[in-house]
Amino acid sequence: MGFFSKFRKKSPWILHYNTGGCNGCDIEILATLAPKYDIERFGALNRGNPKQADILLVTGPVTKNCRDVLRRLYLEMPEPKVVVAMGACGHGGGVFRHLYNVENGVDNIIPVDVWIPGCAPNPRALIDGIVEAIKIWEKKSKDKEYMKNHSKEMIKNLGVNDD
């Protein structure tokens, strides 16, 4: 499928889920869809449908109430897929680190590929992050490394045994 994977970097479809962040990142995602930054230049669309999405854009520190929804969304997305954690909350919970209802970052629930720093990251940072994610996505599909390289712990965490 080498021919097809050539084009994959030009059409990343995004699924966005807020797992308990402060909205700041979500505002910036909307701003990135807006005319000034216009992320559709890279072919990116906000699909809102896990079955047709390639990049899962997670904002927020993952509260305990959101955890299962996030896991389900990740599993519903067809391979190959990339997870981007946006903002400081996505990396270890940010300012909400070690609060009682917080899971301390996206990486404790699903494997993350790209972290975008900032609170909140501005649209330029988001574009940088998407570009980085596309690179990793391309590599992933070339290596066919799907979920095989997940650690056993992670697979158990996700609640799946095979694939």
Partner 1 sequence: MISVILTIFAPILGGFVYGIERIVRARMQSRMGPPLMQPFYDFFKLMDKRPIMIHSFHALMGIMYFIAEWFALAVLLLGNDLLIAVFFHVIAVLALVIGASSVRSSYSVLGALRELMHMISYEPLMVLMVVSFYLVVGSFDIKDVLHYNGYPILDLPLVFIAFLLTIPMLLQKSPFDVAEAHQEIIGGPEIEYSGPFYEALYTGKWIEYIYVFTFAFLFGGSHYWLGAILVIFAFLFINLLDNSTARLDFRRMVKFAWIVLIPMAALNVILLALI
Partner 2 sequence: MVKMFIESFKNLFSKPETVKYPFEPFPEPEGFRGTILYNEELCIFCDKCENVCPPGAILFEIVDIETNKREYNYNPYLCIYCGACVDVCPKADEGCLTQANTRTKPLGEEVVKDKKLGYLMNRITNPKEVEKAWSELEIRAKESREKYAEYKKQQRMKKRAQAQTKKENS
Partner 3 sequence: MGNKIVVPFGSQHIALPEPVSFLFDTKNEIITNVKVDVGYVHRGIEKAAITKFEFTNVSYLLTRICGFCSITHAGGYHHGIEKLLDVEAPKRAEYIRLIITELDRIHSHLLANAHVAEVAGYENLFMQGVKDREIVMDLLENITGNRIQYDIYTIGGVRRDISKETAEYIKKQLLKLKDKVLKVYDFYDTDYTFGLKTKGISYISLDDAKKYNVVGPIARASGLATDARAEFDYLPYDEVGFEIQTRTEGDVWARNIVRQMEVIHSIDLILRAIDNLPEGDIKVKYKGRPKGETFVRVEAPRGECFYYLKGNGTKVLERVRVRVPTYSNIPILKELFVGEKYSDAQPIVLSFDPCMSCTAR
Minimum CB distance to partner 3 smaller for 125 or for 155: 125
DSSP line for the chain: -HHHHHHHTT--EEEEEESS--SHHHHHHHHHHSTTT-GGGGT-EE---GGG-SEEEEES--BTTTHHHHHHHHHHSPSS-EEEEEHHHHTTTGGGTT-TTB-SSGGGTS--SEEE-SSSPPHHHHHHHHHHHHHHHHHHHHHT-TTTTS-HHHHHHHT-S--
Q: How many residues bind partner 2 (CB under 8 A)?
A: 39
Q: In the block, which residue shows the tokens 């869809």?
A: 33
x/- track of binding to partner 3 for residues 84-123 (CB under 8 A) = ----------xxx-xxxxx----------------xx-x-
- Interaction between residue 148 and partner 1 (CB under 8 A): no
7 vs 100, beta carbon nearer partner 3: 100
135 binds partner 1 (CB under 8 A): no
Nearer to partner 3, 31 or 136 (CB): 31
Q: Which of 33, 125, 147, 155 forms a contact with partner 2 (CB under 8 A)? A: 125
| Binding status of residue 4 toward partner 1 by CB under 8 A | yes
Residues that bind partner 3 (CB under 8 A): 15, 17-31, 33-36, 46-50, 60-61, 63, 65-66, 69, 73, 94-96, 98-102, 119-120, 122
